[in-house]
Structure 1
Amino acid sequence: MRVSAGERTANYVILIAFAAVALAPIVTILVTAFSPETPADAQTGGPLHWENFARAWEQGRFSEYMWNSVVVALIVVSLATVLSVMAGYAFGAFEFAGSQVIFYVFLLGIMVPTEAIVVPLFFDLRYLGLTDTVWAISLPQVAQSVAFGTFWMRATFRGANRSIIEAARLDGAGHHRVLWQVLVPVARPAMVTMILLMFMWTWNEFLIPLVMSPTAQLRTAPLGLALFQGQYVQGTTLLAAGAVLVALPVVVLYLFLQRHFIAGMLSGAVRE
């Protein structure tokens, strides 16, 4: 089907309009973050006031909060990735009694919102003495991420070339070797996409760290930004700089892995 010049122009206009709507808030935050905090600051320095980020970093204690987020993200992403790959292989490569029922139980972790389980989960973890620890923040997010990861990797492994698996088994490869040496390298784009999504969700999680650390001993970056907002309601410049600092790790990771992320989104689409 041939597209006329008018249709092509209309498509570009619509795409540019949507891109402008999506990018306008980001540009506004960036401009505000580099703006002078006070009229006196406008008389000194260059057009870009990089000192805003240093002030926000120091006054908002973002070094502590972002380190907590890094620790939580490493625990969640590493555990959830390993468990998701193994569970996805079990559900995607085998058919066993009750596999469908167990798989639907896994899907409950995707369908049930955090708000519905966070209160009873808090009392359970408090009974175990885990509240105000990194595990109280990490383990619930591991469970949520495994639910999504199992669904994602199951679809990926079900779409894998079965002849490769059969050839590996004929060569005497066991399940461990088939999974980690045959299927995982092939599924690398889908795994990178999964890891990036897990990291983004974990880094941006607000409710679980808020509830599971009632004494505020373990504040993550989003919680630190919320506290910073309470301290600097009028200081929109420092608040914007803090927001850029909190969002920067996710942006950098996406830019570094964007090729694999896009490949994973295309090749790792749900296949049944």
Structure 2
Amino acid sequence: MSRTDRLTGRALVALFCAGVLIPFAALVLTALNPPGTAVSGLAWPKDPTFASFGEAWSAAGFGTLLTNSAFVVLGVVPLALVCATLAGYAFATMDFRGKGLLFGLLLVGLTLPYEAAVVPLYYNMQSLGLTDTPYALVLALVGLYMPFGAFWMRQQFAALPKELREAASLDGAGDWALLWRVLVPCIRPGLTTLGLLYFLWAWNQFLLTLILIQSPEERTAPAGLAFFVGAHSTDVPMLAAATLIVIAPVVLVYLFFQRNFIAGMVSGAVKG
């Protein structure tokens, strides 16, 4: 790369970083103002305080909302990862009748907007007696995330050398042992990345929560934030504090797993 290309790349990265960090800094500075303070522009508050966080926490009931979101995430991520791993392993390593057709149907699921499935999902969950419960959201999200998860894991398994599977088979490893003892450890970065994506999508899910869960006690954090905004639309510091409370788990999880996320994004790009 030439010096001009390097400088251009760095300038673009700096521009994108500024586009993310400046709004986030404005949000933090706004939340440090006392509740009810009129805020305009990006400026350090005269009397910095965490009072807006306490007021927002108690007014919105974020203790319950965050617990509900954590329950949904802890239900969606492990179950979806297991299902996606099994599906990806089958599509990448096994030959069976209808394999191409079934995989094509999964790819069709990637093209369809999940908003089109909201109404059928609601009536299906209602017939099962699961509406107004987090179990409805968990089952719906696992199903909706399956096309992408199966495609992702198929690519991860397909990128592994075929000789690895042949050597394990010669050593007497069956399909189950080959999957969990040999292949899964090799694709751990990709599996971690998929788990992180599932976490982000499940935590930020909004529309399905509004449709499937009507009870205020069962709402997740993003849905609770929407109702909180409607009730406190004029108190900007409290709105900023509430937003930071909701996005804090996402930011922390991403910062903790960022190396694995980046490694997983490129692990299946080149077939070994």
| CA offset digits 1:143-195 (Å, max 9, x no partner) | 11222111100000011121111111111111110000000100000000000
Aligned to 2:235: 235
Q: Distance in 2 between matches of 1:47 and 1:83?
A: 51
Q: Distance in 2 between matches of 1:147 and 1:270?
A: 22
CA distance in 2 between partners of 1:55 and 1:189 (Å): 40
RMSD: 2.1
**Cα distance, 1:269 vs. partner?**
3.3
Alignment partners' CA distance in 2, 1:7 and 1:99: 45
TM (norm. structure 2) is: 0.91
Contact 2:34-2:50 within 8 A present in 1 as well: no
Aligned to 1:14: 12
Q: What amino acid does structure 2 have at the position aligned with 1:200?
A: L
Matched, 1:154 2:154: yes
Gaps of 5+ in 2: 39-44
Distance 1:167 1:198, change over 3 A: same
Deviation for aligned residue 1:216:
3.8
Matched, 1:3 2:2: yes
Q: In 2, Cα distance between the equivalents of 1:83 and 1:21?
A: 37
Note the C-alpha offset of 1:47. Answer: 5.2
| Aligned with 1:33 (options 31, 34, 37) | 31
Matches within 5 A, 1:53-68: 53-68=53-68
8 Å CA contact 1:132, 1:216 repeated in 2: no
Residue ranges of structure 1 left out of the alignment (5+ in a row): none
Q: TM-score, normalised by structure 1?
A: 0.91
Q: State the distance in 1 between where 2:145 and 2:243 align.
A: 25
Going from structure 1 to structure 2, the CA distance change for 1:39 and 1:169 (only over 3 Å counts) comes to: closer
Instruction: State the Cα distance separating 1:39 from its structure 2 match.
Output: 5.5
Q: Which amino acid aligns with 2:30?
A: T
Determine the C-alpha separation between the residues in 2 that align with 1:7 and 1:169: 48
Task: State the distance in 1 between where 2:74 and 2:229 align.
Answer: 26
Shift in Å, 1:30: 1.4
* Residue 163 (str. 1) matches residue 154 (str. 2): no
Distance 1:39 1:57, change over 3 A: closer
User: What displacement does 1:7 show?
Assistant: 4.2
Give the 5 Å matches for 1:169-248: 169-248=169-248
